[in-house]
Structure 1
């Protein structure tokens, strides 16, 4: 498999199943999508901002739900194999992306795997190992590593825009590399004491040979 990022902002996602997996999928997609979860019962878990609809669709009802919600992605996370198969079939017939939580290994075109996601602002990291215990440990390590990266992404994007019209490409690259590799910058991020923007400017100026 190859990881791809898909912008689902303001799109609809339909989740069948209100158990632990359905709740986890709902939380994942509700960060930026309009999520509808259909299930006869819901686990005592957070579903994020998803809208929960109490219903028990049969396999024959699935297509109507897909038509009604008009999602770009459909999740099959029920404990009913027939319903999950109907979700897969309805999505495939309409050319929609789908995730079938009861299937692993070889997947048909259109089936997407949903990784464990670590976010820090605009920085997004997806993890998929096939072994939940390993994924959990890696997630904890990545969370520590990317702390503050979202703020740095904003600062370096601003710096990049400023440098674009002022300096040739090689100098821009050197300045940006110096900033993102600087321990001073990373230490300042989120410590509430130092001014990260000021330090970014200082590091960039040094790299450009403009220090006083």
Structure 2
């Protein structure tokens, strides 16, 4: 598998399952796609999600009905507690060339990563399904270690713009950007006061 970032805003995503696992996966796509969730019942976590619900007993659902439910889907997710039904849905998806993620059962074509991000970045971590706990651990470590990461990216973007006007030498511009990135004092200031951090960058890196 290879990592990709995909715009799902105009894509149809179908999730089979109404439990906590399905809700976590639905939250991944809620508000970012045309999301449909299919299950006999739904946990309360779905109440806050933007999704079309289809209430149906999947144990008694024919292949013809399942094919109708996944029609025009970009991605289908099997998040039911019964791996046999997940596998059955997966086989129908493969026959129709639809991407499939399986929470419990035979491997599909897609793995949903652990994700962290901000206004200016997204980081996705995956162990290819081998250990979701490790993926979560890495995500939590990044969040704990770099709480001002979003602010640093915004500062670097602003600094690049100023440097392009002030410094014609690209190597020197890159050196300033790298030095600011490695400046622990700037990181600490960004966490509490972005304005003060920028003034410090101006004083120490732009007025030399």
Which shifted more, 149-158 or 78-87? 78-87
Give the equivalent residue in structure 2 for 1:169.
Answer: 170
2:185 equivalent to 1:184: yes
1:65 is matched with 69
For residues 157 and 194 of structure 2, the distance between their equivalents in structure 1, rounded to whole angstroms, comes to 22
Equivalenced residue count is: 201
CA–CA separation in structure 2 for the residues paired with 1:161 and 1:48? 40
Distance 1:102 1:169, change over 3 A: same
* 2:152 equivalent in structure 1: 152
Higher helix share: 2
Work out the CA distance in 2 between the residues paired with 1:54 and 1:84.
Answer: 17
What RMSD over aligned residues (CA atoms) do the two structures have, in Å?
2.7
Pairing partner for 2:117 from 119, 131, 141: 119
What is the rounded CA distance, in whole Å, between the counterparts of 1:10 and 1:196 in structure 2? 39
Q: Which residue of 1 aligns with 2:51?
A: 51
2:32 maps to 32
Describe the shift of the 1:37–1:183 C-alpha distance in structure 2 as closer, same or farther (beyond 3 A): same
C-alpha distance in 2, partners of 1:167/1:118? 35
Partners of 1:95 and 1:86 in 2: how far apart?
Answer: 14
TM-score by length of 1: 0.78
Which blocks of at least 5 consecutive residues in structure 1 are unaligned? none
Q: Structure 2 length normalisation: TM-score?
A: 0.80
Q: How does 1:87-106 map to 2 (within 5 A)?
A: 87-103=89-105
